[in-house]
Amino acid sequence: MEYKKNINNYSLSNCYYLGERNTNRFIYKYMNLEVAVMSLTNGTIRFVEPYTWQDKFEGRFYNASYAQVKGATGNTPPVLACCLTHAPVNEAAWKVYSSGEKGLEARCVQFKINMKAFREAVAKSCKGFCLYEGQVNYELDEYQIQHLHQRYTSGGKDNDIYLQFFQDFDLASYLSLLLIKRQAFRHEQELRYFLVPGEDEMELKGSMVPKDIKVQWKDFLVDVKVDEGCSDVEMAILSNALKLQGIAIVPSREYIYATADAPITIEKN
């Protein structure tokens, strides 16, 4: 199996995709209600360095030393990332963004997004960056990930997965490494967008501040759902934020757990 993904061009000069092109029409962004309202009000979407995410495993290949890797010079830049998914129903996401917090942060919102329009909007707005789009790789098990950086196996044989990424190391190798995620998270069906800055910012790795990319949400937002616990007042806050941005979408509640049906009788065979 091939794990390293080649870089391919979209029509926009600063926009690329890794591996096979994702042909989904819609993608989804989950966030808590407070972040959703702020994003709409400010007309932004946030990108951050991967190591800052809650799952610290995400920093494994981002924070690694590539000093011994031939071809690594200039090909392990600082990266800002944003995660979306092509899963329209994701129980885990609804739980993550609607538990353990208070107020608006305790409510989950799902934005349904036109993928092509979103990509174009971000690419046009991120001046000074190149945008890369890639599907997360869940194929490697935890043992393979833990030993991927090692040239040889414990038996002294070639580590074939290592060779895929590091034998001819380039930017595609590096970004492919940043798309690796543990199999326990396969249900997320995550799609990642990376912003890679120019050469002048190569020394900023590990110290880049989050970047809020300016966008017009009305250009690509298709539908909005909230978790079933959202109150009428909270719904009104979100509806008003949408209205103020000229977005004619009425948010609806998502009922993950269907109500119980009346007892059924199995028909005679």
What is the rounded average pLDDT of the residues 114-125?
96
* For residue 97, pLDDT beyond 60: no
What is the rounded average pLDDT of the residues 40-50?
96
Predicted pLDDT of residue 139: 95
**Per-residue pLDDT band at 35 (split at 50, 70, 90):** very high
Q: What is the pTM of this model?
A: 0.89
* For residue 37, pLDDT beyond 90: yes
| The dihedral formed by the CA atoms of 84, 118, 223 and 178, expressed in degrees to the nearest 10 | 0
Asked if residues 5 and 176 have their Cβ atoms less than 8 Å apart, the reply is: yes
Predicted pLDDT of residue 268: 87
Beta strands 108-114 and 26-32, pairing class: antiparallel
* For residue 181, pLDDT beyond 90: yes
* For residue 79, pLDDT beyond 70: yes
Of the CA atoms within 13 Å of residue 27, those in its CB half-sphere come to 23
Q: d(Cα 79, Cα 124) in Å, to the nearest integer? A: 18
Predicted pLDDT of residue 101: 65
**Per-residue pLDDT band at 93 (split at 50, 70, 90):** low
Predicted pLDDT of residue 92: 62
Kindly report the average pLDDT of the chain as a whole number. Answer: 90
* For residue 16, pLDDT beyond 70: yes
Predicted pLDDT of residue 114: 98
Tracing tokens 């008003």 back to the chain, one arrives at: 240
Q: Which SS3 state, helix, strand or coil, does residue 21 take?
A: coil
Predicted pLDDT of residue 55: 78
**Per-residue pLDDT band at 149 (split at 50, 70, 90):** very high
Predicted pLDDT of residue 57: 82
Q: d(Cα 88, Cα 27) in Å, to the nearest integer? A: 8
